[in-house]
Chain A
């Protein structure tokens, strides 16, 4: 079956530090990959996505590249801000079954940015 593994944290960084949150996956087909962010007390927001190998998703200074050879989709940001403090979820969607399917999520990484 499909699975997503990501570092769980909490990850604590100082403002303006470089961020990497690792994410690896296993899938039976050719999945699309996503990063969602959940701010405290709120729902899930799509941060970025990539639908095929070597695609790079980017948004709000965050980037992630779909690496098929290493089955990874690591999230990076060059300079984090306090407002980036949230829980980040890596997820995949595998449509090889042909129909609508749910997302398979990692367990989430709690990111804390200190001023």
Chain B
């Protein structure tokens, strides 16, 4: 009964490859997010999707593209991976417009680019 799940948990790949990370939530939330945590543990928002519309697109390279087939899923596609993309990527979800807009996080995907 995991609330927010991500796959894979670990991802090791070569520079220049294209990879995807999947995220699913079963909380009935309408907004999903992707965050990047760097080697110093600093967390920064990358994207959020609300009802299939991109709400935030921070200054991330266009090699990163979020794709949301439905409200329960927000996948992250990364093209032409670079060494600097190595980080932990967290998916999160929330229910907007209500009393509680707390964001709930997935377990993270640890990406290592060689």
- Segment of A12-20, A59-67, A75-83, A97-105 in the binding face: A97-105
**B31/A103 in contact, CB under 8 A:** no
Q: Is A107 an interface residue (CB 8 A)?
A: yes
Q: Are B105 and A45 in contact (CB under 8 A)?
A: yes
Q: Is A107 in contact with B48, judged by CB distance below 8 angstroms?
A: no
- Specify which chain B residues have a CB less than 8 angstroms from the CB of A101 in the assembled complex: 48, 55-56
A103 touches B45 (CB 8 A): yes
Known: A100-B55, A101-B55. A43 touches B42 (CB 8 A): no
Are A102 and B45 CB-contacts (below 8 A) given A43-B90, A44-B90? yes
In the complex, the answer to whether B96 meets A99 with C-beta atoms within 8 Å is yes
Q: What bracket does the count of chain B residues touching chain A fall in? A: 20 to 34
**Interface of chain A: mostly helix, strand, loop or mixed:** strand
User: In the docked arrangement, what's the CA distance between A99 and B48, Å?
Assistant: 10
State whether B101 touches A42 (Cβ < 8 A). Answer: no
Q: Which chain B residues lie closer than 8 Å to A110 at the CB level? A: 41
| Chain B residues with CB below 8 A from A44, complex form | 43, 90, 92, 105, 108
Q: In whole angstroms, what is the CA distance A104 to B42 when docked?
A: 10
Looking at the assembled complex, report how far the CB atom of A97 sits from the nearest CB atom of chain B, in whole angstroms.
Answer: 9
Q: Is A108 a contact partner of B42 (Cβ separation < 8 A)? A: yes
Taken together as a complex, chains A and B put the C-alpha atoms of A36 and B42 apart, in Å, by: 13
Q: How does the 8 Å CB contact mask read for B89-110 relative to A, with 1 for contact and 0 for none?
A: 0101010100001111111100
Residues of A within 8 Å of B105, CB to CB, are: 36, 43-45
Q: List 24 A-B contacts (CB under 8 A).
A: A42-B107, A42-B108, A43-B90, A43-B107, A43-B108, A44-B90, A45-B105, A46-B102, A46-B103, A87-B41, A89-B43, A93-B103, A95-B101, A99-B50, A99-B55, A100-B31, A100-B55, A100-B94, A101-B48, A102-B56, A103-B45, A107-B41, A108-B41, A108-B42
